[in-house]
Amino acid sequence: MKMQAKNLNLYYGTHQALFDVSLEVPENKVVALIGPSGCGKSTFLRTLNRMNDLIDGVQIDGKITLDDRDIYDKDVDLVNLRKRVGMVFQRPNPFPMSIYDNVAYGCRVHGLTDKKRLDEIVEKSLRGAALWDEVKDRLDASAMGMSGGQQQRLCIARVMAVEPEVVLMDEPCSALDPISTMKIEELVQEIKKEYTIVMVTHNMQQAARVSDYTAFFLNGKLIEHDTTDVIFTKPHDKKTEDYITGRFG
C-alpha cells in the first residue's frame, strides 16, 4: 500500500472528529472519500500530509504510513512530506504572480535555480495538467486573469511540478462549471498513471466516474470502503446504500 491509516482518532480539543479510521490507499489508484457535509472526509484527507498540524488543539492517535513509514514520527521532515504528498484545495488558489512563477514556485522553494531546468519542469507540468496549449503564449501573464477552471488546473500543475507521489484533492471541482469539471476529471484519469490520488467529493456521479476505490464516511467514522463498483452497486451497509441513492437523512 502506498499509504495506510490504522486506528486513527483525531480530536479538536475535547471534540472527537475521527473515530478509529483504518483505510488503505493503493498505489496509482484514485480513492474517493464520500459522505455528507461535516462527516470527517476533509479532516481525514488533511491527516495524510499533516495539514491538521496547523490547527491549534489538534490531537491525533493511531498511525498513518507512507511507504510503510509512520508520517507522524517526530523525525519526519514536514517540508519533504508535503512535497511527497501534495494538495489541491477546494477553491483555486493561484499565487498573485505569473503563470510561469506559479508552477516554478515549489521547485524554487526546494532550491532549484537552473533556468533551463525550470523551463522544462514548467512545460512538462502544464502539459501534464492539460493547460500548456492554452497558456504557452502568455506564461508571463498573471495567473489571476485565468478562468476558474484554468486556475484549478494551474494549481494541479503547481503540485505536479515538485513531483509528488500522492496528490490529495479536496473537492477540486466544487467551484467549477461542468466543462471545467469534465477537464479535471479527465486529468485525474490521466495523472493516476504517475500519482496516487485521494479525492474528497460530494458528487456521487464524479466518484463513480473517476475513482477505483470509494470510502463512505459518516459522523467521523469510516462506514465502509471497497472498490467503487461494489460500493455503488452492492454496498454492504444500509447507510451507504441510502446515501448513494439519495434516501439518506
Confidence (pLDDT) at 66: 98
- Structural domain contains residue 121: yes
Q: How far is CA 248 from the centre of its chain?
A: 26
- Structural domain contains residue 7: yes
Q: Is 135 helix (H, G, I), strand (E, B) or coil?
A: helix
Q: Check residue 142 and report its DSSP letter.
A: B
Q: Is 58 helix (H, G, I), strand (E, B) or coil?
A: strand
What is the side-by-side strand order in the sheet with 69-70? 15-25, 3-12, 58-66, 69-70
Confidence (pLDDT) at 43: 96
Count of domains observed in the chain: 1
What pTM was estimated for this model as a whole? 0.93
- Structural domain contains residue 82: yes
- Structural domain contains residue 163: yes
233 pLDDT exceeds 80?
Answer: yes
pLDDT band of residue 54 (cuts 50, 70, 90) is confident
Q: Which domain holds residue 196?
A: 3-244
**Sequence-ordered list of residues with C-beta below 8 angstroms from that of 174, at least 6 positions apart, any chain:** 90, 91, 202
DSSP characters for 139-199?
A: TTSBGGGS-HHHHHHHHHHHHHHT--SEEEEESTTTTS-HHHHHHHHHHHHHHTTT-EEEE
User: In whole angstroms, what is the distance from residue 64 CA to residue 1 CA?
Assistant: 11
Question: Domain with 134 in it: what CATH number?
Answer: 3.40.50.300
pLDDT band of residue 249 (cuts 50, 70, 90) is low
- Structural domain contains residue 249: no
For the chain, report the end-to-end CA distance as a whole number of angstroms.
34
- Structural domain contains residue 106: yes
Confidence (pLDDT) at 110: 87
Confidence (pLDDT) at 247: 78
How large is the average pLDDT for residues 185-197?
92
- Structural domain contains residue 86: yes
Locate cell 459522523: which residue? 219
Structure confidence by residue, pLDDT tens digits, 143-163: 999 999 999 999 999 999 999
Nearest to 201 by CA among 7, 30, 29, 34: 34
User: In whole angstroms, what is the distance from residue 131 CA to residue 211 CA?
Assistant: 22
Q: Do the Cβ atoms of 139 and 98 come closer than 8 Å?
A: yes
**Sequence-ordered list of residues with C-beta below 8 angstroms from that of 209, at least 6 positions apart, any chain:** 185
